[in-house]
Amino acid sequence: MTIEVDRKQQEAWREAAGPRPAIPRTVWALGFVSMFMEISSEMIHALLPLFLAGTLGASVAMMGMIEGVGESSAQIAKVFSGYLSDHFGRRKPLILLGYGFGAASKPFFALAGAPAMVFAARFADRVGKGIRGAPCDALAADVTPPEIRGRAYGLRQALDTVGAFVGPLLAVALMALFADDMRAVFWVALVPGALAVLCVVLGVEDRSVGTVGTGRPPPVRIADLRRLERPFLVVVAIGVVFTLARFSEAFLVLNAYDEGLPLALAPFVLVAMNVVYSLGA
């Protein structure tokens, strides 16, 4: 009886609230931007460990340094990019800069003749990811009504996950087409990267936000860090411990190849990893 009353009450609330607004066009654009860039990046990352080890002769330690510096750079850039987008009152310039970095780095993977060039390209790619991450999330919140923000962020993550699946699968197909020529696959990865930048330029509409001209300070200041309470700090500390246990997907791909997985099928390792990730989520 109570369940029936609660159901009727929820239906009454929904009728009173009226139909839910549609997901904004900018959120859809950000979702497709994320999908195309993820396809481009995963096409390269699925093969990059084997390219470094087999073609360029890089050691496992070198690969660890490339991945470690790249990922740490992305995390550090995230700390500042959200603050800067609030301070300047614009999201799109930083989003375009971040995706531009990602797209511009792709040719250098195909042209690389030594691990140092891959290191530079990977660094630029990850810095771009760090620059665009927070402004993208903030812009999605800026343009989306509060009652459908969950749907909006879910849509973005769903399209991003589609890219994470399609990228390695496309790499497998292209390896078969190009007779295991990894450089040719890297060149093709330029196409979805360019489409991502084009979607930012044509599909993402900026929203004037932040504190420019209002006389108010930015939403978060250094002094505010002293106000963070113990429960928050405990959660952050736990997150740090779990992050220390994380290792790059590059070592999964390399280990699978060492165990006998054919070169052309190596990207399936990332497909399997994303299946587990999606089920866990």
Place of tokens 């002293």: 226
pLDDT class of 3 with cuts at 50, 70, 90: very low
Domain positions in the chain are: 24-208+217-280
What is the percent of the chain where pLDDT is above 90? 43
Determine the Cα–Cα distance for residues 176 and 180; give it in Å rounded to an integer: 6
> For 54-77, how does the pLDDT look when each residue is reduced to its tens digit (9 = 90+)?
899 888 888 888 888 888 888 888
195 or 226, which is more confident? Answer: 195
Q: Indicate the CATH number of 24-208+217-280 among 3.90.1170.40, 1.10.10.10, 1.10.3720.10, 1.20.1250.20.
A: 1.20.1250.20
Classify burial at 233, counting beta carbons within 10 Å of its beta carbon; exposed 0-12, middle 13-18, buried 19 or more: exposed
Query: Contact 47/172 with Cβ under 8 angstroms?
Result: no
Structure-token pair, residue 251: 């070592």
Q: What is the mean pLDDT of the chain?
A: 85
Residue 11 tokens, joined: 């239906």
| 59-73, 134-148, 221-235: the lowest-pLDDT one | 221-235
Q: Which residues are CB-neighbours of 138 under 8 A, at least 6 positions away?
A: 82, 85, 86, 91, 209
DSSP code at position 179: T
Distance between CA 138 and CA 126 in Å, rounded? Answer: 19
Cα distance between residue 139 and residue 210, in whole Å: 11
Q: What is the CA radius of gyration of the chain?
A: 21
Whether the per-residue pLDDT at 26 is higher than 80: the answer is: yes
Q: What angle do CA 52, 58, 62 make, to 5 degrees?
A: 105
Alpha-carbon gap, residue 231 to 250, rounded angstroms: 34
Instruction: Assess whether pLDDT exceeds 60 at residue 12.
Output: no
pTM, two decimal places = 0.81
Query: pLDDT grade, residue 5 (50/70/90)?
Result: very low
pLDDT tens digits along 194-215: 999 999 999 998 876 655 544 4
Question: In the prediction, which pLDDT does 2 show?
Answer: 45
Which residue, chain included where needed, has tokens 């310039």? 93
